Amino acid sequence: MPGTILITGCNRGLGLELSRQFVADGWRVLATCRDPDSAGALKALREQYPLLEVFPLDVTDSRQMAELGRELRGRPIDILVSNAGYYGPKGVTFGHVDLDEWRKVLEINTLAPYRLAETFCDNVAASGRRVIAVISSKVGSIADNGSGGGYLYRSSKTAVNQVVKSLSVDLRERGISVLALHPGWVQTDMGGPNALISAKESVAGLKKILLDTGLENSGRFINYDGSDIPW
């Protein structure tokens, strides 16, 4: 049975495709992005599907997140997807790291997913499915790091994986499953045109995981194809 899903970062890429696939299947989609007025593709999707609702949200703005929490108070959310992310400057090598950019990457990729879970956990607990998912990345895997570099983005995803693990323990008694998901190397603005898979293919895999998961999977780091990724 379709339910309600809240997704951040829906103006493009994975967030937009997640919104498209879920709403096409009859789900009520609560889609957020920083500037809905300039999100042309999302606005077009909203016009096509009345079950899609769009809300402004900068995930680094605690006041705006609290306001959205109040606006959605009492509305069950079956699946909460923390998708909004920021890579930071690319090609940064040792000795040339911009610490201010590093703080920005951590704010968006690590702190914001925690705040999102904290803000909407009551909504998720009141639903039938009770799932929280964070779009992480395989580059956050310490075991998989054989190439070095990527200090900003790698560290933010490693850190958010630890957030996911702690949330999976702390929210278990409320029946909430918490997952870290790797979407693959996807052809988006972040992934670039040389990436291996399309957003449509990635989201099809992520969607299957989100719909099939339960408490037995809580705390896992899962690839879009359903396989486990080492921490």
What pLDDT score does 192 carry? 66
Say yes or no to pLDDT of 38 above 90.
Answer: yes
Looking at the predicted structure, is the pLDDT value of residue 13 above 80? yes
DSSP string, 177-193: EEEEEE--SBSSTTT-T
125-173 pLDDT, tens digit per residue, is 999 999 999 999 999 999 999 999 999 999 999 999 999 999 999 999 9
Spell out the CATH class of 4-223: alpha beta
Mean pLDDT over residues 4-24, rounded? Answer: 97
Q: Could you tell me the pTM of the whole model?
A: 0.96
* C-alpha distance from residue 226 to each of 37, 81, 169 (Å): 35, 17, 21
- Shortest CA distance to 172 belongs to which of 230, 121, 128? 121
| pLDDT tens for each residue of 100-124 | 999 999 999 999 999 999 999 999 9
Please tell me the predicted confidence (pLDDT) of residue 187. Answer: 76
